Amino acid sequence: ALTAVSKAQQTQEVFIEYDVTIEPNADDLRLLKDFHRDGMKDFFLVYQPKLDVKTGLIKGAEALLRWQHPKLGLVSPAKFIPLLEESGMITEVTQWVIHETISMIRRRGVCGKGIVVSINVSTRDLTDLGFVQFVEKEIKNIDPKCIQFEITETGFIDDSDRALYALTKITEMGIGCSVDDFGTGNSSLSYLSKFPVGEIKLDRSFVFDITKNARHLTIVSSTIELAHTLGLSVTAEGVEDKDTVELLRELKCETIQGYVISRPIAEDEILEMFFAKSEH
Ligand code: C2E
Ligand code: MG
Ligand code: MG
Ligand code: MG
Protein backbone atom coordinates (compact mmCIF):
# COMPACT_ATOMS: atom_id res chain seq x y z
CA ALA A 1 0.00 0.00 0.00
CA LEU A 2 2.97 2.30 0.46
CA THR A 3 4.25 2.15 -3.12
CA ALA A 4 3.05 5.72 -3.62
CA VAL A 5 5.19 6.68 -0.65
CA SER A 6 8.48 5.28 -1.94
CA LYS A 7 7.78 6.63 -5.43
CA ALA A 8 7.20 10.10 -4.03
CA GLN A 9 10.39 10.03 -2.02
CA GLN A 10 12.42 9.91 -5.23
CA THR A 11 11.09 13.28 -6.35
CA GLN A 12 12.06 15.65 -3.55
CA GLU A 13 12.92 19.10 -4.85
CA VAL A 14 15.28 21.38 -2.99
CA PHE A 15 14.45 24.75 -4.54
CA ILE A 16 11.06 25.02 -2.85
CA GLU A 17 12.54 24.79 0.65
CA TYR A 18 12.69 28.03 2.59
CA ASP A 19 14.89 29.09 5.47
CA VAL A 20 12.69 29.08 8.59
CA THR A 21 14.89 31.68 10.31
CA ILE A 22 14.07 34.42 7.77
CA GLU A 23 11.89 37.08 9.38
CA PRO A 24 10.31 39.60 7.01
CA ASN A 25 9.89 43.07 8.49
CA ALA A 26 7.92 46.24 7.72
CA ASP A 27 10.09 47.01 4.68
CA ASP A 28 9.39 43.59 3.26
CA LEU A 29 5.70 44.22 3.71
CA ARG A 30 6.10 47.23 1.43
CA LEU A 31 7.69 44.90 -1.12
CA LEU A 32 4.85 42.46 -0.61
CA LYS A 33 2.45 45.24 -1.59
CA ASP A 34 4.38 46.14 -4.75
CA PHE A 35 4.73 42.55 -5.83
CA HIS A 36 1.15 41.65 -5.45
CA ARG A 37 0.19 44.74 -7.45
CA ASP A 38 2.71 43.51 -9.95
CA GLY A 39 0.61 40.47 -10.82
CA MET A 40 1.94 38.29 -7.99
CA LYS A 41 4.99 37.54 -10.12
CA ASP A 42 7.17 36.54 -7.16
CA PHE A 43 4.61 34.13 -5.78
CA PHE A 44 4.11 30.54 -6.85
CA LEU A 45 2.33 27.43 -5.69
CA VAL A 46 3.71 24.08 -4.64
CA TYR A 47 1.60 21.01 -3.99
CA GLN A 48 1.78 18.45 -1.20
CA PRO A 49 0.12 15.10 -1.99
CA LYS A 50 -2.55 13.42 0.13
CA LEU A 51 -2.66 9.64 0.47
CA ASP A 52 -5.82 7.55 0.73
CA VAL A 53 -4.94 5.31 3.66
CA LYS A 54 -7.26 2.49 2.57
CA THR A 55 -6.04 2.14 -1.02
CA GLY A 56 -2.51 3.49 -0.62
CA LEU A 57 -3.08 5.75 -3.64
CA ILE A 58 -2.67 9.49 -4.04
CA LYS A 59 -6.13 11.06 -3.84
CA GLY A 60 -5.26 14.74 -4.04
CA ALA A 61 -2.95 17.52 -2.97
CA GLU A 62 -2.85 20.77 -1.04
CA ALA A 63 -1.79 23.98 -2.79
CA LEU A 64 0.76 25.87 -0.67
CA LEU A 65 1.94 29.39 -1.37
CA ARG A 66 5.60 30.39 -1.75
CA TRP A 67 7.08 33.89 -1.94
CA GLN A 68 10.38 34.37 -3.72
CA HIS A 69 11.73 37.52 -2.08
CA PRO A 70 14.41 39.30 -4.20
CA LYS A 71 16.84 39.63 -1.29
CA LEU A 72 15.67 37.25 1.41
CA GLY A 73 15.12 34.30 -0.94
CA LEU A 74 12.21 31.96 -0.35
CA VAL A 75 10.05 33.10 2.58
CA SER A 76 7.83 30.74 4.57
CA PRO A 77 4.06 31.35 4.37
CA ALA A 78 4.02 31.05 8.16
CA LYS A 79 5.96 34.36 8.11
CA PHE A 80 4.19 36.30 5.34
CA ILE A 81 0.56 35.10 5.65
CA PRO A 82 0.21 36.95 9.00
CA LEU A 83 1.57 40.12 7.31
CA LEU A 84 -1.01 39.73 4.56
CA GLU A 85 -3.77 39.24 7.10
CA GLU A 86 -2.83 42.27 9.17
CA SER A 87 -2.73 44.48 6.11
CA GLY A 88 -5.97 43.11 4.65
CA MET A 89 -4.15 41.93 1.51
CA ILE A 90 -4.93 38.29 2.23
CA THR A 91 -8.24 38.28 0.35
CA GLU A 92 -6.64 39.32 -2.94
CA VAL A 93 -3.91 36.75 -2.45
CA THR A 94 -6.44 34.01 -1.65
CA GLN A 95 -8.32 34.91 -4.82
CA TRP A 96 -5.06 34.62 -6.76
CA VAL A 97 -4.42 31.18 -5.23
CA ILE A 98 -7.95 30.02 -6.10
CA HIS A 99 -7.62 31.32 -9.67
CA GLU A 100 -4.17 29.72 -10.14
CA THR A 101 -5.25 26.37 -8.74
CA ILE A 102 -8.38 26.23 -10.88
CA SER A 103 -6.35 27.20 -13.97
CA MET A 104 -3.85 24.44 -13.21
CA ILE A 105 -6.66 21.89 -12.79
CA ARG A 106 -8.15 22.91 -16.14
CA ARG A 107 -4.89 23.16 -18.03
CA ARG A 108 -3.60 19.79 -16.77
CA GLY A 109 -6.91 17.91 -17.06
CA VAL A 110 -7.06 16.94 -13.38
CA CYS A 111 -10.87 16.72 -13.19
CA GLY A 112 -12.68 13.41 -13.59
CA LYS A 113 -9.89 11.36 -11.99
CA GLY A 114 -11.23 11.46 -8.46
CA ILE A 115 -8.43 13.88 -7.50
CA VAL A 116 -9.23 16.76 -5.12
CA VAL A 117 -6.93 19.79 -4.77
CA SER A 118 -7.20 21.72 -1.49
CA ILE A 119 -6.85 25.47 -1.15
CA ASN A 120 -6.19 27.27 2.14
CA VAL A 121 -8.80 29.88 2.97
CA SER A 122 -8.76 31.99 6.11
CA THR A 123 -11.86 32.98 8.06
CA ARG A 124 -11.05 36.56 7.13
CA ASP A 125 -11.62 35.65 3.46
CA LEU A 126 -15.03 34.20 4.30
CA THR A 127 -16.23 37.46 5.78
CA ASP A 128 -15.15 39.47 2.73
CA LEU A 129 -18.22 40.70 0.87
CA GLY A 130 -17.01 39.78 -2.62
CA PHE A 131 -15.74 36.29 -1.78
CA VAL A 132 -18.80 34.16 -2.56
CA GLN A 133 -19.35 35.88 -5.88
CA PHE A 134 -15.70 35.45 -6.81
CA VAL A 135 -15.80 31.71 -6.07
CA GLU A 136 -19.09 31.34 -7.96
CA LYS A 137 -17.48 32.84 -11.07
CA GLU A 138 -14.24 30.83 -10.84
CA ILE A 139 -15.90 27.47 -10.17
CA LYS A 140 -17.76 27.66 -13.50
CA ASN A 141 -14.48 26.61 -15.14
CA ILE A 142 -14.25 23.19 -13.46
CA ASP A 143 -16.20 20.48 -11.64
CA PRO A 144 -16.59 21.82 -8.06
CA LYS A 145 -15.79 18.36 -6.69
CA CYS A 146 -12.16 18.81 -7.86
CA ILE A 147 -11.40 21.39 -5.18
CA GLN A 148 -11.80 21.69 -1.45
CA PHE A 149 -11.27 24.60 0.94
CA GLU A 150 -9.23 24.16 4.11
CA ILE A 151 -10.50 26.79 6.52
CA THR A 152 -7.97 28.21 8.95
CA GLU A 153 -9.05 30.32 11.83
CA THR A 154 -7.22 33.64 11.80
CA GLY A 155 -7.91 35.42 15.01
CA PHE A 156 -11.41 36.25 16.00
CA ILE A 157 -14.25 35.98 13.47
CA ASP A 158 -15.96 39.30 13.97
CA ASP A 159 -18.80 38.42 11.64
CA SER A 160 -19.67 34.79 12.14
CA ASP A 161 -23.08 35.21 10.40
CA ARG A 162 -21.24 36.33 7.30
CA ALA A 163 -18.80 33.40 7.56
CA LEU A 164 -21.70 30.97 7.96
CA TYR A 165 -23.45 32.47 4.94
CA ALA A 166 -20.28 32.13 2.84
CA LEU A 167 -19.59 28.56 3.92
CA THR A 168 -23.19 27.53 3.28
CA LYS A 169 -23.07 29.04 -0.22
CA ILE A 170 -19.73 27.40 -0.97
CA THR A 171 -21.05 24.02 0.17
CA GLU A 172 -24.14 24.51 -2.00
CA MET A 173 -21.84 25.06 -4.98
CA GLY A 174 -20.50 21.54 -4.35
CA ILE A 175 -17.12 22.54 -2.93
CA GLY A 176 -16.02 20.51 0.10
CA CYS A 177 -14.81 22.30 3.24
CA SER A 178 -12.44 21.13 5.92
CA VAL A 179 -11.35 22.58 9.28
CA ASP A 180 -7.57 23.02 9.08
CA ASP A 181 -5.20 22.67 12.05
CA PHE A 182 -8.00 21.11 14.08
CA GLY A 183 -7.35 21.25 17.79
CA THR A 184 -5.17 24.35 17.79
CA GLY A 185 -7.73 27.17 17.43
CA ASN A 186 -9.91 28.17 20.33
CA SER A 187 -13.21 27.62 18.58
CA SER A 188 -12.63 24.34 16.75
CA LEU A 189 -15.54 22.56 18.42
CA SER A 190 -17.88 25.48 17.83
CA TYR A 191 -16.87 25.25 14.15
CA LEU A 192 -18.14 21.70 14.00
CA SER A 193 -21.45 22.64 15.57
CA LYS A 194 -21.99 25.80 13.51
CA PHE A 195 -20.47 25.32 10.09
CA PRO A 196 -21.22 22.85 7.28
CA VAL A 197 -17.83 21.13 7.03
CA GLY A 198 -17.17 17.59 5.77
CA GLU A 199 -13.69 16.99 7.07
CA ILE A 200 -11.29 17.86 9.82
CA LYS A 201 -7.54 18.11 9.43
CA LEU A 202 -5.73 17.06 12.57
CA ASP A 203 -2.90 19.44 13.31
CA ARG A 204 0.59 18.04 12.98
CA SER A 205 1.51 19.09 16.53
CA PHE A 206 -0.62 16.15 17.77
CA VAL A 207 0.01 13.76 14.92
CA PHE A 208 3.78 13.64 14.47
CA ASP A 209 4.61 11.65 17.64
CA ILE A 210 1.53 9.45 18.29
CA THR A 211 3.67 6.29 18.22
CA LYS A 212 5.60 7.64 21.23
CA ASN A 213 3.27 10.05 22.99
CA ALA A 214 0.28 8.41 24.72
CA ARG A 215 -1.48 11.70 25.34
CA HIS A 216 -1.31 12.71 21.69
CA LEU A 217 -2.47 9.24 20.67
CA THR A 218 -5.52 9.62 22.91
CA ILE A 219 -6.28 13.06 21.49
CA VAL A 220 -5.92 11.80 17.92
CA SER A 221 -7.95 8.61 18.38
CA SER A 222 -10.80 10.33 20.24
CA THR A 223 -10.92 13.13 17.70
CA ILE A 224 -11.14 10.60 14.85
CA GLU A 225 -14.02 8.90 16.71
CA LEU A 226 -15.76 12.23 17.29
CA ALA A 227 -15.39 13.12 13.61
CA HIS A 228 -16.78 9.77 12.46
CA THR A 229 -19.70 10.03 14.86
CA LEU A 230 -20.52 13.40 13.29
CA GLY A 231 -20.19 11.90 9.80
CA LEU A 232 -16.95 13.71 8.99
CA SER A 233 -13.78 12.29 7.50
CA VAL A 234 -10.29 12.93 8.84
CA THR A 235 -6.97 13.96 7.31
CA ALA A 236 -3.88 13.72 9.49
CA GLU A 237 -1.15 16.23 8.61
CA GLY A 238 2.53 16.06 9.48
CA VAL A 239 2.97 12.29 9.22
CA GLU A 240 6.70 11.71 9.11
CA ASP A 241 7.21 7.92 9.40
CA LYS A 242 5.66 4.64 8.30
CA ASP A 243 4.79 3.42 11.83
CA THR A 244 2.56 6.47 12.20
CA VAL A 245 0.91 5.64 8.86
CA GLU A 246 0.13 2.13 10.14
CA LEU A 247 -1.21 3.42 13.45
CA LEU A 248 -3.46 5.94 11.66
CA ARG A 249 -4.67 3.16 9.39
CA GLU A 250 -5.71 1.14 12.47
CA LEU A 251 -7.49 4.23 13.83
CA LYS A 252 -9.47 4.42 10.53
CA CYS A 253 -8.11 7.84 9.59
CA GLU A 254 -9.07 8.29 5.92
CA THR A 255 -6.28 10.50 4.58
CA ILE A 256 -2.69 11.29 5.47
CA GLN A 257 -0.31 13.99 4.44
CA GLY A 258 3.27 14.55 5.49
CA TYR A 259 6.94 14.17 4.72
CA VAL A 260 6.62 10.35 4.81
CA ILE A 261 4.73 10.64 1.51
CA SER A 262 6.30 13.80 0.12
CA ARG A 263 7.25 17.36 0.88
CA PRO A 264 5.43 20.02 -1.13
CA ILE A 265 6.56 19.65 -4.76
CA ALA A 266 6.33 21.49 -8.08
CA GLU A 267 3.34 21.28 -10.40
CA ASP A 268 4.96 18.88 -12.89
CA GLU A 269 5.87 16.49 -10.11
CA ILE A 270 2.44 16.43 -8.52
CA LEU A 271 0.93 15.82 -11.95
CA GLU A 272 3.19 12.79 -12.34
CA MET A 273 1.85 11.47 -9.05
CA PHE A 274 -1.75 12.09 -10.10
CA PHE A 275 -1.22 10.25 -13.38
CA ALA A 276 0.61 7.38 -11.71
CA LYS A 277 -2.57 6.96 -9.67
CA SER A 278 -4.86 6.82 -12.68
CA GLU A 279 -2.72 4.04 -14.23
CA HIS A 280 -3.74 1.63 -11.44
P1 C2E B 1 -1.14 24.20 6.77
O2 C2E B 1 -2.28 24.53 5.87
O3 C2E B 1 -1.47 23.49 8.03
O4 C2E B 1 -0.13 23.38 5.86
C5 C2E B 1 0.71 22.37 6.35
C6 C2E B 1 2.11 22.88 6.57
O7 C2E B 1 2.87 21.85 7.20
C8 C2E B 1 2.86 23.21 5.28
O9 C2E B 1 3.78 24.23 5.60
C10 C2E B 1 3.60 21.91 5.01
O11 C2E B 1 4.73 22.07 4.19
C12 C2E B 1 3.98 21.49 6.40
N13 C2E B 1 4.15 20.04 6.50
C14 C2E B 1 3.51 19.10 5.79
N15 C2E B 1 3.89 17.87 6.14
C16 C2E B 1 4.80 18.01 7.12
C17 C2E B 1 5.57 17.08 7.93
O18 C2E B 1 5.47 15.86 7.78
N19 C2E B 1 6.39 17.62 8.88
C20 C2E B 1 6.51 18.96 9.06
N21 C2E B 1 7.35 19.38 10.00
N22 C2E B 1 5.81 19.86 8.32
C23 C2E B 1 4.96 19.39 7.37
P24 C2E B 1 3.92 25.55 4.76
O25 C2E B 1 3.84 25.26 3.30
O26 C2E B 1 5.10 26.26 5.27
O27 C2E B 1 2.62 26.36 5.14
C28 C2E B 1 2.44 26.85 6.45
C29 C2E B 1 1.07 27.41 6.62
O30 C2E B 1 0.91 28.59 5.85
C31 C2E B 1 -0.03 26.48 6.16
O32 C2E B 1 -0.32 25.53 7.16
C33 C2E B 1 -1.16 27.45 5.94
O34 C2E B 1 -1.84 27.74 7.13
C35 C2E B 1 -0.44 28.68 5.47
N36 C2E B 1 -0.56 28.76 4.00
C37 C2E B 1 0.17 28.20 3.04
N38 C2E B 1 -0.27 28.51 1.81
C39 C2E B 1 -1.36 29.29 2.01
C40 C2E B 1 -2.30 29.94 1.14
O41 C2E B 1 -2.27 29.83 -0.10
N42 C2E B 1 -3.29 30.68 1.74
C43 C2E B 1 -3.39 30.81 3.10
N44 C2E B 1 -4.39 31.54 3.60
N45 C2E B 1 -2.55 30.20 3.92
C46 C2E B 1 -1.55 29.46 3.40
MG1 MG C 1 -3.88 23.61 5.02
MG1 MG D 1 -3.09 22.20 8.28
MG1 MG E 1 -0.96 22.89 10.49
Give 21-45 pLDDT, tens digit per residue.
888 777 777 777 776 666 788 899 9
- Please indicate whether residue 240, judged by its CB atom, sits closer than 6 Å to ligand 1: yes
- Please indicate whether residue 120, judged by its CB atom, sits closer than 6 Å to ligand 1: yes
ipTM surpasses 0.95: yes
State pTM to two decimals.
0.92
Provide the β-strand partners of residue 201.
235
Distance 166 CA to ligand 1 centre (A): 23
Q: State the average pLDDT over residues 128-147.
A: 96
Chain centroid offset of residue 84 CA: 17
Name the residue among 268, 270, 244 with its Cα closest to residue 258. Answer: 244
- Please indicate whether residue 65, judged by its CB atom, sits closer than 6 Å to ligand 1: yes
Tally of CB atoms within 10 A around 45:
21
pLDDT at 64 over 60: yes
The residue whose CA is least distant from atom 37 of ligand 1 is 64
| Confidence band of 69 (pLDDT split at 50, 70, 90) | confident
- Residue 232 to residue 225: CA distance in whole angstroms: 10
Question: What pLDDT was estimated at residue 157?
Answer: 64
- Please indicate whether residue 244, judged by its CB atom, sits closer than 6 Å to ligand 1: no
Provide the β-strand partners of residue 50.
60
The residue whose CA is least distant from atom 13 of ligand 1 is 238
